[in-house]
Amino acid sequence: MAEGPAAASARKSRRRGGGAWVLAAIGAVLAAGGWLWLSANFERQLREVSVGASPEARANPFLAAERFLADSGIEARSTTAPELLRDPPPPADMLVVDGLPPLNAARRERLRDWLAAGGRMLVEAVHLDTGDAAPRPEHFLAGFGAQLRRDAQAGGDDEVLASVRLPDSPQPLTVGFAPEWYLADRLGAAAGEVSADGRPRLLEYRVGAGTLYVVSDTLWLGNARIGRHDHALLLALLAADRERVWLLHAVSVPSLAMLLWRAAPAAMVSALLLLMLLLWHLGRRLGPLLPAPDAARRDLLEHLQAAGDFVWRQGRGGLLVAQTRRRLERQWLRRHPALRGLDTTERARRIAAQTGLSPDEVQAALYGPVGDAAGLVRVTAVLQRLVQARAPDAGAGRGHQGRSVEADTDKKRAPDTAPEPQHQPIASRR
């Protein structure tokens, strides 16, 4: 009996559905087998992976100390503000300073007054005593005699242990200091000290009603070591009666370059690259190369012209006519000895009378300043006329020397009388 189309379609659907169930069962068996194999060969464990200090801890070495004091009921605050050294907090507070920078006289006096009023400060000595010179006055601790020294022979130990006894602690406290650094009390004014390995590591000074603690290092207060020994307990006992503890770190003012690098390193790199590019651009040659200078000998007149231009640009134009003035004056004096005993004004007047020039022109040409370029031209022209007026007398012989001045004097006494030929002025015998 033949089945219809509907029955055939139903049979095919049943076959497809049975195959899907088979595939699902096989997948479940494989998954269960894989889980059993992983469970038998691997063990699940929890492990701690160190990722280093947090950004806040890297920026603040006193972060752990601050949180410990806060958990102990002591108000504490970490800061980098150097204003606390200029305007200290109330005397009931405590300052913990990680390296005290140089201070001016006003700040040193204000800080000392704060200590005398009852303040308490624990500070690290950072200025090394080399023994070559006296302590610098801007170092605050130098006024108390505390000096930092270095032991170059210190071993490779991580720390040296010191025993600290406090009135509030029935048991001595153990503190680990850096073995390389130690202190010296130069003035012997310390009221107490804590030593490790035979050398002072902590000095106590009484300043009025306050106390100053100087330590060789503050590593024991840092995040890495505050949990060792009795470091945290010592800090808490020192600050137990204080209203607030200020933990100052990085109080030294960095350079401007360091501040710019910290604030905008990308901008600094860009500016450096831009500067290098600018220097390279300025070093490039513009235009063609200049030809090599001609090695041929130049005209002597060009050299003299260049030398004269240089002297004039240097403001020493008087040198250009000084030699001519001296030579011309010597010639006039040699030919007319009567001019030797006269002053420059009278001498210029006598020469002017014989040359047809005005006395002012002769005075300016022989003895006056040169002035500007126009003055140099005027002086040169007058000197040229004086040379021309003197030239004919060069071949006239020495018989006429000394007579022209006398003739000029006679001419003034008798202007209407014509002078004799042998007494004519030099200017008229041309």
Asked whether the predicted pLDDT for residue 298 surpasses 70, the reply is no
The percentage of residues in the chain with a pLDDT greater than 90, rounded to a whole number, is 23
pTM above 0.85, yes or no: no
Q: Please, what is the Cα angle at 326 between 324 and 332, to 5 degrees?
A: 100
State residue 102's pLDDT score: 81
pLDDT at 252: 64
How does residue 68 score in pLDDT terms, banded at 50, 70 and 90?
very high
Output the pLDDT for position 142.
83
Q: In this predicted model, which residue has the larger pLDDT, 395 or 182?
A: 182
Residue 203: per-residue pLDDT? 93
Look at 146-150, 238-242, 296-300 and tell me which has the smallest mean pLDDT. Answer: 296-300
Predicted confidence band of residue 307 (pLDDT cuts 50, 70, 90): confident
Residue 193 has pLDDT above 70, yes or no: yes
**How far apart, in whole angstroms, are the C-alpha atoms of residue 257 and residue 268?**
9
User: Higher model confidence: residue 315 or residue 94?
Assistant: 94
Long-range Cβ contacts of 199-203 (<8 Å, 24+ apart): 199/151, 201/160, 201/162, 201/175, 201/177, 202/162, 202/164, 202/175, 202/177, 203/146
CA angle, corner 72, sides to 71 and 73, nearest 5?
A: 90
Answer yes or no: is pLDDT of 171 > 80. Answer: yes
Average of per-residue pLDDT across 178-187: 89
315 φ, ψ (degrees, to nearest 5): 75, 25
Task: State the chain's mean pLDDT as an integer.
Answer: 79
Do 138 and 119 meet the contact criterion of CB atoms below 8 Å apart? no
> What are 186's two structure tokens?
């130069």
pLDDT of residue 247: 92
**pLDDT at residue number 417:** 39
Which of 180, 214, 219, 173 lies closest to 197, judged by CA? 180
Average pLDDT over residues 26-43: 87
The pLDDT, as a whole number, for residue 214 is 93
How many angstroms separate the CA atoms of 28 and 34, rounded?
A: 10
In angstroms, how far is the first alpha carbon of the chain from the final one? 171
Coil vs helix vs strand at 277: helix
Average pLDDT over residues 299-321: 72
